[in-house]
């Protein structure tokens, strides 16, 4: 069991190195004169964010979706192989595979939509 976690850690560490190397830009260090300028921040303060209805809509939505997907992922194959439903184990595993692919495509599609269209058109603005 412990070897599996160590293996996952090693794979993650090996994967992050090339990504960090490829996306690191040396030209973004602040100029010494610009570093003396006061930093002007835009956006909301933490208190304002926590009082925002949109923040809570988004947070609760992500929590519920994550909970449902996690519960389905863990219990899907045993549920489908239950005698009342009657799927064979290989068919239940195929359903689980399709669900995994659908979740991946959905997340990529949602990310594209959020990046492509104005935020007012997103479901969080409702």
pLDDT in tens, the chain (126 residues): 567 777 777 877 887 777 777 766 665 565 555 556 666 667 788 889 899 988 889 889 889 988 887 887 788 888 889 888 788 999 999 998 998 899 889 889 888 887 888 767 766 554
Which helix (H) or strand (E) is 2 found in, with range?
helix 2-23
């Amino acid at each position: 069991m412990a070897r599996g976690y160590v293996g996952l850690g090693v794979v993650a560490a090996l994967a992050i190195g090339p990504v960090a190397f490829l996306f690191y830009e040396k030209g973004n260090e602040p100029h010494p004169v610009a570093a003396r300028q006061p930093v002007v921040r835009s956006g909301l303060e933490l208190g304002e964010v926590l009082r925002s209805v949109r923040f809570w809509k988004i947070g609760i939505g992500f929590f519920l979706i994550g909970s449902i997907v996690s519960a389905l992922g863990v219990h899907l194959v045993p549920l489908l192989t239950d005698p009342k439903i009657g799927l064979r184990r290989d068919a239940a595993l195929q359903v689980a595979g399709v669900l995994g692919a659908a979740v991946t495509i959905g997340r990529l599609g949602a990310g594209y939509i959020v990046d492509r269209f104005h935020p007012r058109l997103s479901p969080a603005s409702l």
